[in-house]
Amino acid sequence: MLNAAIWPSLDYSRVPYRLYHDPEVYQREQERIFHGPTWNFLGLEAEMSNPGDFRTTYVGDTPVIVNRDASGTIHALVNRCAHRGAMVRREMSGNAGEHTCIYHQWCYGLDGRLRSIPFRRGIRGKGGLDPSFDMTAHGLRKLRVASVNGALFGTLADDVEPLEDYLGAPVLAQLRRLLGRPVTVLGYNRQRIRANWKLYAENTRDNYHASLLHEFLVTFGLDRSTQVGGVKMDARHRHNITWAEAESDTAELAQEAYGAVRVRCNYLSLKEPELVRFRRERADPLNIAITSVFPSAVFVQISNSLAVRQIRPRGIEEVEIFQTMLGYADDSPDLTLHRLRQANLVGPAGLVSMEDGEAIEIAHRASKPDRDSTTVIELGGAGVISDRDYRVTDVPLRGFWSYYAELLGIEPAGAVR
């Protein structure tokens, strides 16, 4: 049974494995989280510059069309024909004046309204739809859409707080920092991981694993837990920013810290050190800024590589990570090349990210048989959930679970938030 009694502790420092594996959990997540009072990342306005531009995406596992109409307004529509439930728009992106289902050619406008139905009046007075059939009641279901600096979010819920309130000031500031200039899409990458989607959502909030699992970070001197950094959350602790400042530690401190855990920290030299060289682009010194937005978006700056990741659940046992690589529209050719080279760091083949796919698969695999056992989330202490100015912590995972429990209706009485 999925209820508040599944939690062994009130601070979410123990998460029962069943939450990664039970099919009933997945169904309730789709209803209460992805169709619930959350804002879900849809894509970027930069991908839909012209009237008629569309792209297809997902909210949870619900297929969605996002497009710009003739007046310039962006609409998001559930990509499912009102007639027989078929996917209306099959292409990933394109430009069109309407969306027509191939099955029976029901045709919808870019605002989702049902425009036309073939043989609506039948043929020679026979067949077709009854004259009372209400076209206006059979459009594509619309999502509410809001944008932060061109990052589009949609919601299927009727009552949800405004996007800016949902994100909160620290996350809003990060998005405005990352998207403060017009962006351009450098490309996409996708990764299918045989693990529950929440293991990935946790992973992006887990500062502790970064330089231990991703040994490249330390071995080649890109990022170390000894740098000045930490985690910063919104007031509800559902989102998180993992941050670090460039060149803010010393080699001696790093050697001492990593020597004890047998991780090499000897600045092995690369033949092409540009791969890890941070070119400072802003007034602040951040070279790592990973902003996880509940439930399924991650805005990522790692050195000079910039990206948005969308977590797409594909059933209880599989997740797709869909990543959009970004640059700025006014980047010089040299800076674009630098970003393309540093794109080697991230994605399914990323030198500092490939390990995540393996790590969460082995977590998924080994946790499955014993669903009443739990994880341990105590780095940085148990109890209160709060920001930390250090990096050996996984506190933001407890924030994620706290809001998750609230939305699923399984928050125990007296639990921390």
Partner 1 sequence: MIASAAGPAADRFALYDLFAGYGALIDAADFDAWLALFAATCTYHIIPRENYQRGLPAGLVYCDSRGMLEDRIRALREANKYNIHTDRHLIGLPRLIGADSDAKLVEAPFAVYQTDQEGETRLFATGLYRDRIVVEVGGLKFRDKLVLLDTFAVPTLLATPL
Residue ranges binding partner 1 (CB under 8 A): 92-93, 185-194, 213, 215-216, 219-220, 268, 270-272, 275, 320, 325, 336-337, 340-341, 343-344, 347-349, 351, 354-358, 361
CA distances from 158 to 81, 102, 154, 295 (A): 21, 30, 11, 17
Least gap, CB of 194 to partner 1 (angstroms): 7
Q: What's the min distance (Å) between Cβ of 156 and partner 1?
A: 25
Nearer to partner 1, 176 or 190 (CB): 190
Q: In the beta sheet, which residues pair with residue 119? A: none
Which of 23/94 has CB closer to partner 1? 94
- The total of other beta-carbon atoms located within 10 Å of residue 379's CB is 19
Nearer to partner 1, 29 or 355 (CB): 355
Distance of closest approach, residue 67 Cβ to partner 1, in angstroms:
17
* Residue 45 or 331 having the CB closest to partner 1: 331
Q: How far is CA 287 from the centre of its chain?
A: 20
From the CB of 318, what's the least distance to partner 1, in Å?
Answer: 10
Between 188 and 278, CB nearer to partner 1:
188
Nearest approach, Cβ of 215 to partner 1 (angstroms)? Answer: 4
- What beta strand segments (E) does 294-365 contain? 297-302, 305-313, 319-328
Closer residue to partner 1 (CB): 312 or 398: 312
Contact 375, 17 (CB under 8 A): yes
d(CA 324, CA 292): 15
The C-alpha atoms of residue 173 and residue 178 are separated, in whole angstroms, by: 9
What's the min distance (Å) between Cβ of 22 and partner 1? 23
320-340 burial, b if ≥16 CB within 10 A, otherwise e?
bbbbbbbbbeebeeeeeebbe
Q: How far apart are CA 190 and CA 237, in angstroms?
A: 28
